Amino acid sequence: MKSKILGMGHYVPEKVFTNDDMAKMFDTSDEWIQKRTGIKERRFVTESGVGASDLAVPAVKMACENADTDVSDIDAIIFATLSPDHIFPGSGCFLNQKLGLPGVPALDIRNQCSGFLYGLQIADAWIQAGMYKRVALVGAERHSAGLDFSDAGRDVAVLFGDGAAAAIVGPGDGTDTGSGVIDIEVHADGEGAKLLWIESPTCTEWEWLDQSMIDRRATYPAMNGKQVFRWATSKMPEALRSVLARNGYTIDDLDLLVPHQANRRINEFVAQKLQIDPNKVVHNIQKYGNTTAASIPLALSEAIQEGRAKEGDLVAFAAFGAGFTWGAGLYRI
Ligand code: ACO
């Protein structure tokens, strides 16, 4: 049986950091950030002791409310994040405890900006196999804890924001035409692994964290922005074309494209390449920056809440991120 998203939810921290706030910390400007990325502001957690699993709690509760489901009905958790609370155990275990779900399995996945698509593919397969009935698929990030707020890290620090979103995935209505997942494809190419990564702490050395790693700022994310841009604008359209063709649809059949929010310029480039009506493309990067695994579900949750994604709509998802990983999906609302 096809799976469907029974309800979506999202949560972002209250504290807004504008581009001007970023310019107080290092050498940048509102003009540079907006022109290159489309970002105006992002949300950051400012309290200590708050991790991705904490941001996920209200997102899951909202998703359950929208799904008309009790939190206690959740029978599996998939937690997508690149900024886990701790190196181990996975944030899914912390979330399991915070939701009061002892015994419910919790799987962490590490697919960065493509995490929601990888997770939805797994949830869909579990539901189709009859293994679970209410999967909480979560994307949550607390990037603010790991960004280099100095001139050296300004290319990356301006891009990211904190946030969480969740989908409760369950069985569809049993028809081929009803609401639900139509198809998802995901990919990876480790050739790009070091083009967007955090080198340390690393379990490839005798000490996973030493002073030299800190001194050369290897503990902060590093990115080859031009390569990421080039790959993203090639792989997202490729995956979208592939998933549409395999299912007998064309670009014109799409009602909405909900892409990963890495950079507004990337998404405008992808839309132009595919000749998608710009009005059909969802952008919220101006408000939240890049929230990585939370980005697609956050944009979808808002689009549903605002009535922009309506019952019967054909929605496409597209993602590209560290790994490199990428993918595309088709979904009937
Ligand atoms: N503020 C001001 N100036 C900056 C900043 C900043 N925050 N960051 C870099 N610069 C400077 C650089 O130092 C450089 O200065 P120089 O010419 O004196 O050497 C100048 O701006 C141009 O730098 P470039 O790196 O060439 O800038 P570019 O036009 O490539 O834009 C950007 C950088 C926005 C990162 C771009 O490469 C890009 O969009 N890449 C895609 C990466 C992306 O979106 N990543 C998101 C995370 S991954 C994901 O989710 C897919």
Alpha helices in the chain (DSSP H): 19-25, 30-37, 52-67, 91-99, 115-128, 154-157, 211-215, 225-246, 264-274, 285-288, 295-305
- Total-model pTM: 0.96
pLDDT: which is higher, 153 or 2: 153
Contacts of 88 (CB under 8 A, 6+ apart): none
What is the rounded average pLDDT of the residues 138-143? Answer: 98
Q: Are 76 and 136 in contact (CB under 8 A)?
A: yes
Q: Over range 145-153, report the average pLDDT.
A: 96
For the segment(s) 3-171, the CATH number from 3.40.1110.10, 3.40.47.10, 3.40.50.970, 1.20.120.400 is 3.40.47.10
> What pLDDT, on a 0 to 100 scale, did the predictor assign at position 299?
98
Residue whose Cα lies nearest atom 36 of ligand 1: it is 225
Partners of 167 in beta bridges:
8, 137
Tokens of 92: 């899914």
CA of 275 to the centre of ligand 1 (A): 26
Is 181 within 8 Å of 173 (Cβ atoms)? no
Contacting residues for 194 by C-beta, under 8 A, at least 6 apart: none
Superfamily of domain 180-332: Thiolase/Chalcone synthase (3.40.47.10)
Please report, for residues 67, 178, 249, 280, 303, the alpha-carbon distance to residue 306 in angstroms, rounded to integers and kept in the order given: 17, 22, 26, 14, 5
Contact 4, 315 (CB under 8 A): no
Residue 175 has pLDDT above 90, yes or no: no
Locate 213 and state its tokens. Answer: 């790693």
Query: With 90 as the cut, is the pLDDT of residue 139 above it?
Result: yes
What are the structure tokens assigned to 269, written together? 């480039």
Categorize the per-residue pLDDT at 242 as very low, low, confident or very high, splitting at 50, 70 and 90: very high
The tens digit of pLDDT for each residue in 269-325 reads 999 999 999 999 999 999 999 999 999 999 999 999 999 999 999 999 999 999 999
pLDDT at position 177 is 74
Percentage of the chain exceeding pLDDT 70: 100
Here the tokens at position 112 are 């960065």
Q: Above 80 in pLDDT, residue 1?
A: no
Q: What is the pLDDT of residues 39-98, one digit of tens each?
A: 999 999 999 999 999 999 999 999 999 999 999 999 999 999 999 999 999 999 999 999
In eight-state DSSP terms, residue 272 is: H
Q: What's residue 74's pLDDT?
A: 98
Task: Place 178 in a pLDDT band, splitting at 50, 70 and 90.
Answer: confident
- Name the nearest CA neighbour of 105 among 132, 128, 124: 132
Strands, E, within 148-194: which ranges? 163-171, 180-188
Nearest CA to ligand 1 atom 23: 155
> If you measure from the C-alpha of residue 141 to the centroid of ligand 1, how many angstroms do you get, rounded to a whole number?
22
Asked whether the predicted pLDDT for residue 16 surpasses 80, the reply is: yes
Q: How far is the CA of 223 from the centre of ligand 1 (A)?
A: 9
Q: Is the pLDDT of residue 326 over 90?
A: yes
Which residue ranges make up each domain of the chain? Answer: 3-171, 180-332
Phi, psi (rounded to 5 degrees) for 214: -65, -45
Q: For ligand 1, atom 30, name the residue with the nearest CA.
A: 226
User: Residue 10: its pLDDT value, please?
Assistant: 98
Whether 3-171 and 180-332 share one fold: the answer is: yes
The model's confidence at residue 173, banded by pLDDT at 50, 70 and 90, is: confident
Mean pLDDT of 133-151: 97
Other CB atoms within 10 Å distance of the CB of residue 62 = 20
From 187, 226, 260, the mutation candidate for ligand 1 (largest count of ligand atoms within 8 A of CB) is 226
pLDDT band of residue 174 (cuts 50, 70, 90) is confident
State the average pLDDT for the chain.
96
Q: What is the pLDDT of residue 47?
A: 95
Distance CA 57, CA 24 (A): 32
CA dihedral 142, 143, 148, 151 (to 10 degrees): -130
Residue nearest to atom 34 of ligand 1 (CA): 36
pLDDT digits (tens, 9 = 90+) for 186-236: 999 999 999 999 999 999 999 999 999 999 999 999 999 999 999 999 999
Mean pLDDT confidence for 107-136: 97
Distance, in Å, from the CA atom of 105 to the CA atom of 99, rounded to the nearest integer, reads 13
Separation between Cα atoms, residue 307 and residue 297, nearest integer Å: 15
pLDDT given for residue 118 in this prediction = 98
Measured distance CA(206)–CA(309) in Å, rounded: 51
Do β-strands 16-18 and 41-43 pair in parallel, antiparallel, or remain unpaired?
A: antiparallel
**Which residues are near ligand 1 (CB < 6 Å)?**
28, 32, 36-37, 113, 154-155, 158-159, 196, 223, 225-226, 228-229, 232, 262-263, 265-266, 290, 320-321
**Residue 2, pLDDT score:** 86
| 268 Cα: distance to centroid of ligand 1 (angstroms) | 17
Query: Is the distance from CB of 239 to CB of 328 less than 8 angstroms?
Result: yes
135-141 and 76-80: which strand pairing? parallel
